[in-house]
Amino acid sequence: MGGGQQELQGPDLSLGIPVADLADGAMLLGHANGDAVLLARRADEIFAIGATCTHYSGPLAEGLLVEDTVRCPWHHACFSLRTGEPVGAPALNPLPCWRVERTGDRIRVTDKSERDPLAPSDEPTRGVTRTRARIHAAHAVAPSTRPPERIVIVGAGAAGNAAAEMLRRLGYGGKVTMLDAEPDEPYDRPNLSKDYLAGNAPEEWIPIRSHEFHAEHGIDLVRNAQVSTLDLPRREVQLTTGATHGYDRLLLATGAEPVRLPIPGADRAHVHYLRSLTNSRAIIEKAKASKRAVVIGASFIGLEVAASLRARELEVHVVAPERLPLERVMGADLAKFVKALHEEHGVVFHLEDTVTAIGDGDVTLKSGGTLPTDMIVIGVGVRPRVALAEQARLAMDRGVVVNEMLETSAPHVFAAGDIARYPDPYTGERIRVEHWVHAQRQGQAAARNMLGVGYPYDDVPFFWSAHYDVSINYVGHAEQWDEMIVDGDPFARDVAVRFQRAGRALAIASIFRDTVSLEAEVTMELQGQS
Ligand SMILES: Cc1cc2nc3c(=O)[nH]c(=O)nc-3n(C[C@H](O)[C@H](O)[C@H](O)COP(=O)(O)OP(=O)(O)OC[C@H]3O[C@@H](n4cnc5c(N)ncnc54)[C@H](O)[C@@H]3O)c2cc1C
Ligand code: FES
């Protein structure tokens, strides 16, 4: 999934350090036998785990300790200090652990152990805060005495793949079948508009899991498998090929699809959308033979594509109707910075404008005139892929309606990820969220609930977006706010913007304020639980 090794820093922990060097609640970065090791202390307990996040190699020593877990500063993965288990996505692989020996007033790390990624989970809950654990315990129902025999997952994206893995981590021994319309193994979708598209990520960073991995763990992934019908009374799904798969529990994780622009010429061969690995590869191929590109839409994906095409030295024009890119989501201060950042890298904006027609070698602007171009990428938003759910007449509300256990209106049918509209405990509203980490965590929660564990989904949404060397992190969910508090300066790349409604923080967007972002997440979690 990418990233590199951190340089070894700090003391050699295999030789030992005075215990007084590690205060209660503190972390210390060191190394042992060539591995970066993170020591963490909770009262009299001292833990030693790998210091490098298994997602994109984030530096865990710069993260946040929460109870007996550590959260990564970059994309908020959460690991158990006791076992190294990745108790919160986006990390799916565990960290190594070391034994800590205490002799008098010194401690040293000794034996290293590594767990299998799908080893049975030691965490009945995500293990993030005691309050949270108590709440989960209160909701927990006894796992059904007869576990389901067959679980079918439609969609092997963020939510589907995370759900399949979690089923095995929970020790589920029944049949797991994952059906996906695409030809590829599960892959790192966020990277498709970032390093991969820019040419900075090797192919091996992109797959999340290999065919062998699924086979080894008894996950039957059927690719090129487009599910066309969901038959509730018969408890089966049917593929376009006519093949059927019966289920005892079903997870719908069909994601979203790009909104298509109904303008003349939008079906031309040099017009691209970006959702899948196939799409990203097609854009790369076209970019190799192009000098100029027009990106229609200043969405996160549109802007990330613009940055990646600039990295490939194409001339890039972005056409979008808004006054400032991302202003509706991020507010004016961050939007001005994002615009300036892209301009600094040579992107030319045509804002408060739209494309009315696409020709062979140019696009026509509403404001008049044309822009010559060799290729076009359209990024004007996505809509949830709900055809299956609609056909089965599940309850819908701009997405598939689910309860706190992520169960749809049909018994034994669950939904997670981009398609699911769920009750958000923090705001009390029903929301639908289109983020990678959120989809993975919903998939993991749905896995628990399909086994009858009773695991209400209450994670705080989180996403990141990367533009050149700047990553914007966003925690919470604010569709509308009445107050925006800016702490710091986006242009100094040091800022946290708080979006509030009726005096209550709904979300925080930040640049290089990782601790603030992590702390906000914990605060919102606790408030959502109270
Ligand atoms: C280019 C790009 C960059 C992104 N960057 C970020 C980012 O930086 N940060 C972030 O938080 N989010 C990002 N996102 C959003 C994030 O990827 C999605 O929110 C997330 O993938 C949603 O997960 P999901 O499991 O709901 O759907 P998906 O990951 O889209 O998976 C759905 C799967 O279902 C399959 N499917 C659909 N219908 C059927 C059917 N009928 N039969 C069989 N299979 C079917 C699809 O082929 C697909 O593989 C990005 C998205 C894209 C496209
Ligand atoms: S690098 Fe740690 S969560 Fe992404």
Q: What is the pLDDT of residues 461-481, one digit of tens each?
A: 999 999 999 999 999 999 999
* Residue-wise pLDDT tens digits, 52-70: 999 999 999 999 999 999 9
Could you say which ligand is closest to the alpha carbon of residue 305?
1
Task: Tell me what pLDDT residue 120 has.
Answer: 77
Confidence of residue 145 (pLDDT cuts 50, 70, 90): low
pLDDT of 125 reads 45
Cα 473 to Cα 339: distance, rounded to the nearest angstrom: 17
- Hey, whose CA ends up nearest to atom 29 of ligand 1? 157
pTM of the entire predicted model: 0.95
H or E element in which residue 390 lies = helix 387-391
Pairwise CA distance, residues 356 & 207, whole Å:
37
Whether 515 has a pLDDT exceeding 60, the answer reads yes
Q: Assess whether pLDDT exceeds 70 at residue 138.
A: no
| 433 pLDDT higher than 70 | yes
* Distance (Å, whole) CA 299 – CA 86: 31
Is the CB of 240 within 6 Å of ligand 1? no
Pairing state between β 150-154 and 106-113: unpaired
Q: Kindly state if the Cβ of 384 falls inside 6 Å of ligand 1.
A: no
Average pLDDT, the chain: 93
495 Cα: distance to centroid of ligand 2 (angstroms): 20
Q: Residue 158 C-alpha to ligand 2 middle, in angstroms?
A: 15
Q: What is the pLDDT of residue 5?
A: 54
Could you give the percent of the chain with pLDDT greater than 90?
A: 90
Report the nearest atom of ligand 1 relative to the CA of 160. 25
Question: 70 CA to middle of ligand 1, Å?
Answer: 27
For residue 276, report the distance from its CA to the centre of ligand 1, in Å.
8
- Nearest protein Cα to ligand 2, atom 3: 75
Averaged pLDDT for residues 86-96:
96
Task: Kindly report, residue by residue over 242-291, the tens digit of the pLDDT.
Answer: 999 999 999 999 999 999 999 999 999 999 999 999 999 999 999 999 99
The confidence band for 131, taking pLDDT boundaries of 50, 70 and 90, is very low
pLDDT, residue 117, reads 85
Stretch 182-202: mean pLDDT, rounded? 96
CA–centroid distance, 454 to ligand 2, in Å, is 28
Q: Is 68 in the pocket of ligand 1 (CB under 6 A)?
A: no
pLDDT band with cut points at 50, 70 and 90 for residue 115: confident
Site to probe by mutation for ligand 2, drawn from 70, 74, 92, 95 as the one with most ligand atoms within 8 Å of Cβ, is: 74
Cis status, amide bond into 202, omega within 30 of 0: no
Please state, in angstroms and rounded to a whole number, the distance separating the CA atoms of residues 106 and 21.
Answer: 9
What pLDDT was estimated at residue 122? 66
Residue 416 predicted with pLDDT over 50: yes
CB 120 within 8 A of CB 109: no
Q: Is the CB of 157 under 6 A from ligand 1?
A: yes
Cα of 288 vs centre of ligand 1, distance in Å, is 25
Provide CB contacts within 8 A for 375, sequence distance 6+. Answer: 270, 271, 272, 283, 286, 287, 290, 292, 293, 294
